[in-house]
Structure 1
Amino acid sequence: MRSPIAAVKKFVADLVLWSCFVGGLAASTAAGTVLDGTGKNIATAAGAVVALVAGSRIAKKPKIKAFLSRPGTLWFLFLFNGGTAVAMYFTMDGIKGILAAAMMGLVSLGAAGGLIAGRRQRAEAARQAAPAQTPWA
């Protein structure tokens, strides 16, 4: 059983981590409405980096990791991000559309890799669990 101080420390740490993630997303997407020029570019880049670092730390937590490795979640990520990548490529102009489509495509490919790896693990576990079939038994 965890002490109350340890529970509060974990809660505060999780709150800060999620706040950094949400704040980074907000800064990277909404900087254009508040700032112009170089400041906008810096805020967008810094927000993206903060969100990426915080998101990768969040994804390593056991409950989130278990949720992200479920086949249903992986199928959703694969199909949704793949469809979004195609839509972005055809609806956005210039380099922004190409980069956005490429990033969403990478997320989709990562989910596909998780699906393939999970399928291999399940097949290996089933093969090891099955009794050995020998022709002379």
Structure 2
Amino acid sequence: MGCYPISWMRYYLGENPTTAKSLELEVYPKDAKIDGFASVEYSSASSDKKKGIVHCGMKTPLSTLWRIGFIPKMIITSSKKDLDIATGKIENRSCFEDGKETWSTYAFQLEAFADAVKGGKSIPLFSNKDSVDNMKAVDMAYLAVGLPLRS
């Protein structure tokens, strides 16, 4: 689950993180090599004030549920303001076409896949390099919380 908020964090930091620090880890009860929930703080090389904290997992502890909720969201915090961007709505404006306001990200992925299969034009949202950079940040999270890298 962490690849999505990590991607958001990298986008808004405007660069790839250089370090990751574990803040919280709850492992899956049946296998301690699997994360159920994790919080990781990333830092950038350009400024010690440029940080991103990612909370993610399949099982969200009740202690953090009030912070992140059931709907994926991002909160950007600066020295002057907090900006809360939640699933498609920014300042009460919808960024989706009519009828797609309640679609999940998976519905958009399925639509793009179906368009590509039908011969329509598929526009990748992310470059291969961006995908590799995101996986490097995911690996940083696993190493920070002390879990094995995925292969």
Task: With the length of structure 1 as denominator, give the TM-score of the two structures.
Answer: 0.26
Relative contact order, higher structure (CA 8 A, sep 6+): 2
Larger strand share, 1 or 2: 2
